[in-house]
Structure 1
């Protein structure tokens, strides 16, 4: 079985067979791995377990990145949520805290799931776990959400890029948010077509986002972009479920993202030679961090 190459093809197959994107991906794994359904689901469940750990660890524990650039924000967000005075509500605040937690765990050399990359590792866990909590989903239902996300990520990878070095942060956090939005839609009972509309809208809203890490480390502004990506995915899932559609089809949006990524100068693609990385403060922090690493 060859995986669908385009989003349009994926939706057509799902509609013809009356299955979800998640189910299509499960069947694909079963056929191409010689594993049973139970084994395929159990393998993905292990990813969910790691995601749960990383999404919660920094909320409840003091975490500091190796460089010292980030750490402690997840706990701050959780404490703020406990005051019940936020503008964005409990669901969004929890999503923010979870996205921040995974990013902080990653920067502290902890264990995460790079879905689709380490730099965007906070988005998908936050979306799946927060949506699952709000929907009273079982672990198996959340696992199916991860399969949906994997299917969308596969289409993006075949036709564009998931790497910040190749396409900017739109390719990393953008792809993660698109994957999360699609997953949340199917978890809510939406159709494959609605899932891809959600993914399309996410991409359109993040198109052109550069990758400009301070000191070349996946910490600043990466962690806060994970927070923004998680929020975007959840709100966009609601748009799709309300019947809002993307005017530009998913496949064309992915193609546009790839073109924009290739048009970005190298300074804005993970080299730390442009954007926030070369602000006065960014350069000062780089000097401090590099000096510390060299033992100065």
Structure 2
């Protein structure tokens, strides 16, 4: 029976069994669930198609109940159409899709928590944009989701994916790490490079506070999804260039756990610190209450 509890476990299993990361993750799921390989793969395909549907159902004219979120994804689309965005066509599209997915979540539309609702835009934006921009086959994108889920499982087990426990590093940080690994896979990275990409992305997000205005998954959450996307893309490129992290993947995850424990409660989804207690935030919430 295959099981893993660390990134090094996954890499060792890949080496011992001459498998790719997605194959090890799929096999572990089969062993745990008792389902066939085809059943597990098709379940993940269902997830990917749900992500596609969520992206396609974006409504530019929708506003969240608080009025803080809505329409920015359309603004990004319009800006991208001018050709002025300095980022590549792929990165520009990913930024747009991240905003749209985050806004859809804030507007109570159906999304896929990847790995959480607050970070729902990162992985979808990276994968959907790759499919659209690079004409990738669906099976490869599903395999990339297996890569992402393997990384996410290790982080969840050894640190946290919840803002209430680890701050936003646990949500956007984990999503960005998962997306970086998935993108590196799609670009042809080997197993080691995939995990290096994931490590770079997580390192860059260490210490990120969770300070939602009014306790709502809107500000600054939605725009942090864009930061997570750009971080994931750059991290994958570092790994593909052959650059390696001085700190190992598992040590990085362990550091994230310790940092999360050290963060004061005011920076862990309680809305009692950070951006949530600024004068700007207080004015917004006062207006919201009056309505």
Match of 1:4 in 2: 4
State the Cα distance separating 1:91 from its structure 2 match. Answer: 1.1
SS of the aligned residue for 2:226 comes to helix
Match of 2:189 in 1: 190
State the Cα distance separating 1:2 from its structure 2 match. Answer: 5.1
SS of the aligned residue for 1:166 comes to helix
Residues 40-87 of structure 1, C-alpha deviations (whole Å, 9 max, x = no match): 1211111111211223433x6422112211000111111111111211
Match of 1:204 in 2: 203
Residues 195-243 of structure 1, C-alpha deviations (whole Å, 9 max, x = no match): 1111111111111110000101000000000011011101111111111
Name the count of aligned residue pairs.
291
Report if aligned partners of 1:4, 1:10 keep a CA contact under 8 Å in 2: yes
Report if aligned partners of 2:25, 2:146 keep a CA contact under 8 Å in 1: yes
Question: How does 1:73-84 map onto structure 2 within 5 Å?
Answer: 73-84=72-83
State the Cα distance separating 1:134 from its structure 2 match. Answer: 3.6
Report if aligned partners of 1:44, 1:143 keep a CA contact under 8 Å in 2: yes
Match of 2:90 in 1: 91
State how far apart, in whole Å, the 1-side matches of 2:129 and 2:2 are: 32
Residues 179-202 of structure 1, C-alpha deviations (whole Å, 9 max, x = no match): 000111111121221111111111
SS of the aligned residue for 2:131 comes to helix
Question: How does 1:113-128 map onto structure 2 within 5 Å?
Answer: 113-128=112-127
SS of the aligned residue for 1:94 comes to helix
State how far apart, in whole Å, the 2-side matches of 1:241 and 1:181 are: 11
Match of 1:133 in 2: 132
Match of 1:145 in 2: 144
Match of 2:32 in 1: 32
State the Cα distance separating 1:137 from its structure 2 match. Answer: 1.4
Give unmatched runs, 5+ long, in structure 2. Answer: none
Report if aligned partners of 1:57, 1:101 keep a CA contact under 8 Å in 2: no
Residues 153-177 of structure 1, C-alpha deviations (whole Å, 9 max, x = no match): 0010110000111111011000000
Question: How does 1:146-295 map onto structure 2 within 5 Å?
Answer: 146-292=145-291
State how far apart, in whole Å, the 2-side matches of 1:2 and 1:68 are: 48
Residues 96-115 of structure 1, C-alpha deviations (whole Å, 9 max, x = no match): 11101110110111111111
Report if aligned partners of 1:56, 1:101 keep a CA contact under 8 Å in 2: no
State how far apart, in whole Å, the 2-side matches of 1:176 and 1:11 are: 20
Match of 1:103 in 2: 102
State how far apart, in whole Å, the 2-side matches of 1:107 and 1:218 are: 6
Report if aligned partners of 1:56, 1:98 keep a CA contact under 8 Å in 2: no
Match of 2:23 in 1: 23
State the Cα distance separating 1:32 from its structure 2 match. Answer: 2.3
State the Cα distance separating 1:30 from its structure 2 match. Answer: 2.1
State how far apart, in whole Å, the 1-side matches of 2:31 and 2:257 are: 30
CA RMSD of aligned residues (A): 1.3
Report if aligned partners of 2:2, 2:31 keep a CA contact under 8 Å in 1: no
Match of 1:53 in 2: 53
Give unmatched runs, 5+ long, in structure 1. Answer: none
* TM score, norm. by length of structure 2: 0.96
Report if aligned partners of 2:103, 2:222 keep a CA contact under 8 Å in 1: yes
Structure 1: 4+ residue segments shifted above 4 A = none
Match of 2:41 in 1: 41
Match of 1:13 in 2: 13
Report if aligned partners of 1:54, 1:101 keep a CA contact under 8 Å in 2: no
